[in-house]
Structure 1
Amino acid sequence: MAADLSVVADRFGLGEITETQVITAGTMNLNWRVTTTGGVWAVKRVLDVDAAAARRQHRVTIALAERGLPVPPACTVTSAGGDTLLDLRGRLYAVTGWVAGVHRGGTMLSPAETEDLGSLLSRLQVELGRILPAVPETVREMPAEAAAAKDGIDRYAAAAAARPEPDEFDAFVIDRMTARRVLLAQVAHLRPDEDAPVGPCGWIHGDFQHLNVLYGPAGVSAVLDWDRLKPRPVAAELVRSATLLFGRPDGSLDLQRVTAFAAGYRSVRPLPDAAIVDAVGRLWWERICDTWQLRRHYERQDPSCDHLFRSAEASLAWWTSNREPVSEAFTARRQTADRHRRTPGSSSVICPGHGPTVARW
């Protein structure tokens, strides 16, 4: 791997490597903090998307940075005519300037910071719509079938029970799949309408949550990891992001912050209540039916997302008992003071051969 990083540094014109550090956060790609004589860089080995998707992301990050948003732009390979992706015998690498900052859980944010984060998500979506091709205003989304969800529940309950020496996680899975099976039978009539048009649609970041947002002294310094860039109903991202940002360890949601986040979002891009309530119901149903963490554990022998299954189960139990307050929190009107919206600072990220890209928000 050290040999690859040396080639990456050479081909991207980063300078001579003086230090490398593996970044352990994240489960999809391989990442390093690389210090060279030319600066400090974030190097990613791209594993989670193909080359075409990676290049599209890079075009988008460059365009967003040029529009003043806190997105680190992809650097270009010095000898490849502007290409932002280096292919080393099938191993794909990308580089951005390193952005200083820390991750902050959503429940650590002040009301003003929470509204700011919602407005930032909305601004990103609006700019994506200007950068990327137009998408249909509405789509029809097929919610998971209750029968297929039950099959998955039964399959993983059986897989846990069949282990020669079941451990504590297997016992937890059996218990939760038993409860999930009962819940699914009770709420099957609440499956979202598969024939109803869902929208408005647009391009979304796809994984806007605290591990992909960095904070500096003046506020958000970077929005990272654009691997899930895609067109979707925009309210779906608003709702999913809020549930990830403002969930507590016991599974409950900080509903006051949910309201502030949604209000900040809607201060930039108004969304009708009906679209948001529909997105809330669709995500709740998805959480009932989804067992992706167990697929990784039992089919791929990969326990890296076991903790996400535990937190998802706690969240689902609380959400199911509080469906009406959750929907109300997303649609409640909140007075947004004109300024508590600070005049934030800016961050500057420079790639070799380019002037500074100043990200202001």
Structure 2
Amino acid sequence: MTQDVHSALATNFERYEIREQLHDVPPHAVYEVRVDGRRAVCKVARGDTADPETEAAVIHHVDRHTDLPVPSVLAAGEGYFVASWLDGLPADDEVPSPDETDAAYARALGSSLARLHDATAGTFVRPGFPRADSGDGDPLAVDARDRWVGVVQGLLDEFEAYLVDTEWVDPVREVRTLVEDYPDLFAGAGDPVLCHGNALPDHVGFGTDASGDPTDIAALVDFEHALVAPGEYDLWRTAIPVFGRPGADAPRPALSAFRAGYESVRPLPDGFERRRDGYRLVNLASYFVALDVQNGGIGPDERPQADGMADVVSETVGSIRDRRV
């Protein structure tokens, strides 16, 4: 699916201006625009895996049912959405790298995720995949599964289908087979909430105090990977790439602060640490797809990274199987 930014804007607004292209990373392109005299952003599909209409439904739900600072959706349709401009995000040269994140930042990010989860707790009976609903009322619907492990299997099925004609399908199948063999791998994960799915430093902005430490959340964007899932899914989706070294047994200090920030708002279920390796594997499986989508294929330049991820998958799968014997 692809969508033209001019068509998306002309369909919904009498007056519009395209100011600047902000991002062009497949499968989306994002533009700063003005529509009917107001500053806004327009996100359009640039590939088959893009689904801006569902992302718009998620953003609308968060805007209406939480107090978190997210954009307001101004228009949405097949392959695009337009949303109000949101100040407060870090500039590209201000996004902290994993090595630059400290305890104050980690606590602020953890508590912000907990606020999203707390505000949507009890809203969803079962976990599942968000989708846009064209009916009246809330545009967010959920393609639900009876159990969380069924959603995990559905995710892995999607990854496998996308990578089926590549050699990188093999690590995904390793993970899929492990989950089939041990369907209790994620047992006890908790009730479903709305998870952001990609709460990395470039998608979250904070106010700061006099010392420059992050305080309250100022902006939250990019819900394209949102999922109705146990809150700990969201935590590990953020913690593993940002606060924890993959494969390391000892967590970085910021990871403890991240967890403490979360638990200052809502508790985590028993077994949170025990399920870490399962989430690491699901994350890695998704990274193969992202690496392929964003680069138009996993070529020679991306191969070292993909080989390293495949090695971690095999090692982690083997470790889990050994512990289960």
- Residue 61 of structure 2 corresponds to which residue in structure 1? 60
Q: Which amino acid aligns with 2:111?
A: S
Q: Is the 8 A contact 2:114 2:265 kept in 1?
A: yes
**Compared with structure 1, are the counterparts of its residues 214 and 8 closer, same or farther at alpha carbon in structure 2 (3 Å cutoff)?**
farther
Q: Which amino acid aligns with 1:70?
A: P
- 1:4 equivalenced with 2:12 (yes/no): no
- Residue 109 of structure 1 corresponds to which residue in structure 2? 101
Matches within 5 A, 1:142-161: 156-157=166-167
Q: Which amino acid aligns with 1:97?
A: W
**Compared with structure 1, are the counterparts of its residues 124 and 316 closer, same or farther at alpha carbon in structure 2 (3 Å cutoff)?**
farther
- Residue 49 of structure 1 corresponds to which residue in structure 2? 51
Of the three residues 254, 260, 265, the one matched with 1:263 is 260
1:116-170 deviations in whole A, cap 9, x for unaligned? 111111111111226x4333698251577xxx999x999744xxxxxxxxxxxxx
- Residue 297 of structure 2 corresponds to which residue in structure 1? 303
How far apart in 1 are the matches of 2:79 and 2:201? 28
Q: Is the 8 A contact 2:111 2:265 kept in 1?
A: yes
Q: Which amino acid aligns with 1:284?
A: R
- Residue 33 of structure 2 corresponds to which residue in structure 1? 34
Instruction: Compute the RMSD of aligned alpha carbons.
Output: 4.7
Of the three residues 212, 218, 222, the one matched with 2:203 is 212
1:19-65 deviations in whole A, cap 9, x for unaligned? 511122543322101246834221222562274x345324313225x
- 1:124 equivalenced with 2:153 (yes/no): no
How far apart in 2 are the matches of 1:204 and 1:305? 32
- Residue 201 of structure 1 corresponds to which residue in structure 2? 191
- CA-CA distance at 1:93 after TM superposition: 3.0
**Compared with structure 1, are the counterparts of its residues 21 and 275 closer, same or farther at alpha carbon in structure 2 (3 Å cutoff)?**
same
- 1:230 equivalenced with 2:255 (yes/no): no
**Compared with structure 1, are the counterparts of its residues 25 and 109 closer, same or farther at alpha carbon in structure 2 (3 Å cutoff)?**
farther
Q: Is the 8 A contact 2:200 2:238 kept in 1?
A: yes
- CA-CA distance at 1:92 after TM superposition: 3.4
- The DSSP-based 3-state class of the residue aligned with 2:30 is strand
How far apart in 2 are the matches of 1:2 and 1:92? 8
Larger Rg: 1
Q: Is the 8 A contact 2:58 2:226 kept in 1?
A: yes
1:196-215 deviations in whole A, cap 9, x for unaligned? 64420322112222232234
How far apart in 2 are the matches of 1:246 and 1:301? 25
- The DSSP-based 3-state class of the residue aligned with 1:268 is coil
How far apart in 1 are the matches of 2:202 and 2:303? 17
**Compared with structure 1, are the counterparts of its residues 140 and 74 closer, same or farther at alpha carbon in structure 2 (3 Å cutoff)?**
closer
**Compared with structure 1, are the counterparts of its residues 287 and 239 closer, same or farther at alpha carbon in structure 2 (3 Å cutoff)?**
closer
Q: Is the 8 A contact 2:13 2:36 kept in 1?
A: no
Task: State the percentage of identical aligned residues.
Answer: 16
- Residue 286 of structure 1 corresponds to which residue in structure 2? 282
How far apart in 2 are the matches of 1:307 and 1:265? 37
**Compared with structure 1, are the counterparts of its residues 212 and 301 closer, same or farther at alpha carbon in structure 2 (3 Å cutoff)?**
closer
**Compared with structure 1, are the counterparts of its residues 251 and 212 closer, same or farther at alpha carbon in structure 2 (3 Å cutoff)?**
farther
Q: Which amino acid aligns with 2:80?
A: L
More strand by share: 2
- The DSSP-based 3-state class of the residue aligned with 2:274 is helix
How far apart in 2 are the matches of 1:121 and 1:288? 21
**Compared with structure 1, are the counterparts of its residues 316 and 235 closer, same or farther at alpha carbon in structure 2 (3 Å cutoff)?**
farther
5+ residue gaps, structure 1 = 76-83, 158-172, 324-361
- The DSSP-based 3-state class of the residue aligned with 1:227 is coil
Q: Which amino acid aligns with 1:200?
A: G
How far apart in 2 are the matches of 1:141 and 1:272? 16
Matches within 5 A, 1:338-353: none
How far apart in 1 are the matches of 2:124 and 2:181? 28
- CA-CA distance at 1:263 after TM superposition: 1.8
Q: Is the 8 A contact 1:40 1:98 kept in 2?
A: no
TM-score with structure 2 setting the length:
0.64
How far apart in 1 are the matches of 2:82 and 2:267? 35
- 1:95 equivalenced with 2:87 (yes/no): no
